[in-house]
Structure 1
Amino acid sequence: MTYLTRRMLTRAAALSTAAAVAFATVATGTAAPGSTLGPDDIPGLSWPPPAGAPSPDTDPFYQPPETLPARPGELIRAQDAPQLLDLAGDGGPGSAERILYTSTTEDGDRVATSGTVLKASGTWHGKGPAPTLVYTPGTRGSGDLCAPSRSSFQLFGVDTGNGALNVNYEYPFHAAASALGMNVVVVDLIGLGTPGQHTYVNNPEQGQATLDAARAGLSRLGLPADSPVGFFGYSQGGGAAAAAAEMASSYAPELNVKGTFAGAPPADLLEVVDAVDDHAITGVLGYALNGALERHPELAPLKDKYFNDRGKEFLADTRDRCIADSIARWGLTDTRTLTTDGRSFGEIARDDDRLRSVLESYRLGSTYTDVNAPIMIANGRNDDTIPWQQARDTAARYCEAGGTVQFVTDPLPSILPKSAINHAVPMLTTAGPAMTYMVDRFNDRPAPSNCGRF
């Protein structure tokens, strides 16, 4: 397949998704909080527009109070959030609320972040009280509109200011867990939905936000702090789930963690940077770099040193993009065309001590290895987005630290490299086994482990 054909297919897929969601939004007369889309607004063929300001955020729910509560994981406020399982939002089974709660940055600063709490729509038939499954989202984007909690009816949202498109593609998994009788907490992660830049794939911050979401979610549900909880995520969410698992003992020891599923975790970002270069989702590199610059302002001079004009446009544009419009804008971009000296982002990251140090600080299974509950890690052997070897090595480090680890390899053969097919399909094929794994953990069944055999 030629480069031009691949690029046309990539853009066509993104545009068709956008059109479907936009027309559905127009047909129902609904839009995400903060969106300006209305029944008379139908996006034209120029979607998404070039870099520009997103629609002004007029939703006061996401604005934190001047003084934040002192403790991490403390609930600040909650608000009804209708979803398909309970469109009436009457507070009964299946009802949902979005929440704002406190968490902690990598520097130890208190910050407000957001999420969604879904009450179980079905009856839990397992052992003990109904558990709470904390979902960490796969890549949604970097702009506030991309947060799962900002999607209308937990499904979608459109920002006509810059064309950002929020598709809550993991909602079927949330609904399935709810139907099985589990309470569900969906994490937005720091800076995704709330003020400040989203610190994309910053695993320490993602782990803390996930643990604090568990605390806040249990509080909102009126459940004891030691109620059974588990973590479940894929891709970016897999990294966040694994980070929560390895940090739980030190950061939130009161939580009763029963198990974790971490699918395709971006455990070693130096390896991931190479994989997503000249890729359908190259735009995620902008998310990661903007997040690193947010937390490490000492890196700011690197923009002038390493990025040409198009590279600076890439950084500016991806600050407020969601994944679908990033694909349409930046899919299959070779990062060597964005730099002053023609090196790729990966080469620069390895050569610059400051940038390499930051990315290495996000590596899973390095600072923390005490996984205090069983964990299942899955990755496709031919995953073209999140390399298999770095996930396997992370699982091995957890094993060496005494963890109970089940590492699963999806055998899908390579299909259209750089298209993300080999990354997306295992998300679907591992979903059933992963849910079964978590149900077994909540029922206190002996956890499988293949340490030393993968």
Structure 2
Amino acid sequence: MPLRTRIPAVLLAAALAGVTLGPQPAQAATSRGVTIPAFYTPPAALPDANGTLIRTERLPLALSLPGITGTLPATATRIMYKSTDSNGGPVAVTGAYLEPAARWWGPGPRPLVVLAPGTMGQGDQCSTSLALQRGLIVGLEKNQTTVSIGYEVLAIYRLLARGIAVVQTDYPGLGTTDRLHTYVNRVDGGHAVLDAARAALALPKKSITASSAVGFYGYSQGGGAVAAAAELQPSYAPDVRLTATYAGAPPADLTEVMAAIDGSELVGALGWSVNGFFQSDPELRPLAERYLSAAGKAALADLSTACVGDAIFGYANKRSTGWTTSGQPLASLVEAEPRFRAFLDAQTIGTRKPAGVVRVATGVNDDLVPHAQARALATDWCGLGGHVVYAPVSLPKTGSPLLNHFGPLLSDQGAAVDWLRDRLAGRPASADC
């Protein structure tokens, strides 16, 4: 059951006819009626070195103003760079670099923050770099609608206002049209974050330098990606000068997270997770399809091109028990199948000492990405000798898991950005371990 067609028609026809074609120009694609620019179609051959820029182009920002010396709050460049996926294979990743108009008032050269977006969805139209250009994305195709909002612009612009350069990653398969997005894959996300820093430093005509301090910022899916990157930096990218990481509401234990989101407004994220598992390990698909009902297979196919808005409108508060032949929830079936269990165990964050200082923030009433498993991550890192600052965020509990999760994102964002700025300016942070 293909989730979506990725092969351009000319290449598919040539393959069926046994004809070998030379290099083909990038082609625009569509997802739920939204045109994905040709920029997002990766070339057939990728460079060897991780972080190498594949292509760049000017990125007009949806929210910007003309300034005396340049665009306010930043001049943006769309980027595509090479990374390595969890199977050790090459992968093209897109994103955006934003050169701030504001001056950096701290010591040393202007610092760089890699922003890993929170959950955007799995359709290519959901990518953050596309949202930076278009703001609100709306589409309609074959009775499928799509709605996506670039909410990460709030954190990005806060960083820019403090004179900090920002590069955001779209993650593997989100935007790029050659594969499905491997949602919450620990290695894919961590590598994409680290290689985004390398790609930004390789850009010409920028104010950051090889001596710039580097920070990571992420909440929810992004919190997991930057947490994984902090763990992977010593072995995968020791050349990245990682100073500090803000990991908000990180999904460190996917087994607990999958159980928590079932029946919530964001139950669609279950489909994105399972679809991503299939992309990373195709042998998991036949195992899962023994348990999936026709409704479950249809939901996974539909969600493979959906954004957050689509998932909320189409699946909010439904339970995955309707997606299985036995009526059991997906999380129970995944945990009971040894191959799936091993895959999930390999996604656990908190088994390696993170580089630099890390601020782990989580809402004490977050029941979507459960508070307890995020707090456990901070405890595990402390046990490994990590430099960890733990920041519980206390907000009134509501009847909405989605609000319980996203409330801390907004209420803690200013403090998180200021904390990260202070670390990049060389001010020490006391650990809570």
TM-score, L = length of structure 1: 0.85
* Whole-Å separation in 2 of the counterparts to 1:72 and 1:90: 33
Question: What is the Cα-based RMSD across aligned positions, in Å?
Answer: 2.0
Q: Which amino acid aligns with 1:96?
A: A
TM-superposed deviation, 1:57: 5.0
* Whole-Å separation in 2 of the counterparts to 1:403 and 1:152: 34
Q: Is the 8 A contact 1:177 1:184 kept in 2?
A: yes
What secondary structure is seen at the aligned counterpart in 2 of 1:96? strand
1:428 aligns with 2:407: no
Q: Is the 8 A contact 2:121 2:306 kept in 1?
A: yes
TM-score, L = length of structure 2: 0.89
What secondary structure is seen at the aligned counterpart in 1 of 2:226? helix
Q: Which residue of 2 aligns with 1:75?
A: 53
1:61 aligns with 2:39: yes
* Whole-Å separation in 1 of the counterparts to 2:150 and 2:211: 30
TM-superposed deviation, 1:219: 1.3
Distance 1:91 1:215, change over 3 A: farther
> In structure 1, which of residues 120, 123, 133 is the aligned counterpart of residue 100 of structure 2?
120
User: 1:5-404, aligned counterparts within 5 Å?
Assistant: 54-55=32-33, 57=35, 59-83=37-61, 84-86=63-65, 94-151=74-131, 153=133, 155-161=135-141, 162-194=144-176, 195-220=178-203, 221=206, 223-366=208-351, 369-404=352-387
Q: Which residue of 1 aligns with 2:428?
A: 446
* Whole-Å separation in 2 of the counterparts to 1:87 and 1:267: 41
Q: Is the 8 A contact 1:227 1:255 kept in 2?
A: no
* Whole-Å separation in 1 of the counterparts to 2:35 and 2:65: 26
Deviations 1:408-444 (A, max 9, x none): 11122320143x1110110011111111111111111
Q: Which amino acid aligns with 2:385?
A: G
TM-superposed deviation, 1:402: 1.1
Distance 1:170 1:91, change over 3 A: same
* Whole-Å separation in 2 of the counterparts to 1:34 and 1:358: 34
What secondary structure is seen at the aligned counterpart in 1 of 2:244? strand
Q: Which residue of 2 aligns with 1:19?
A: none
* Whole-Å separation in 1 of the counterparts to 2:80 and 2:68: 18
What secondary structure is seen at the aligned counterpart in 2 of 1:95? strand
Query: Gaps spanning 5+ residues in structure 1: where?
Result: 1-32, 37-52
What secondary structure is seen at the aligned counterpart in 2 of 1:141? coil
Q: Is the 8 A contact 1:134 1:210 kept in 2?
A: yes
Q: Which amino acid aligns with 2:125?
A: L
TM-superposed deviation, 1:154: 5.5
Distance 1:383 1:211, change over 3 A: same
* Whole-Å separation in 2 of the counterparts to 1:417 and 1:151: 26
* Whole-Å separation in 2 of the counterparts to 1:34 and 1:279: 35
What secondary structure is seen at the aligned counterpart in 2 of 1:151? helix
Q: Which has the higher strand share?
A: 2
Q: Which amino acid aligns with 1:429?
A: S
Q: Which amino acid aligns with 1:273?
A: M
Distance 1:339 1:411, change over 3 A: same
TM-superposed deviation, 1:302: 2.6
What secondary structure is seen at the aligned counterpart in 1 of 2:414? helix
* Whole-Å separation in 1 of the counterparts to 2:359 and 2:340: 31
Q: Which residue of 2 aligns with 1:4?
A: none
> In structure 2, which of residues 393, 406, 415 is the aligned counterpart of residue 410 of structure 1?
393
Q: Which residue of 1 aligns with 2:20?
A: none
Query: Quick one: percent identity of the two aligned structures?
Result: 38
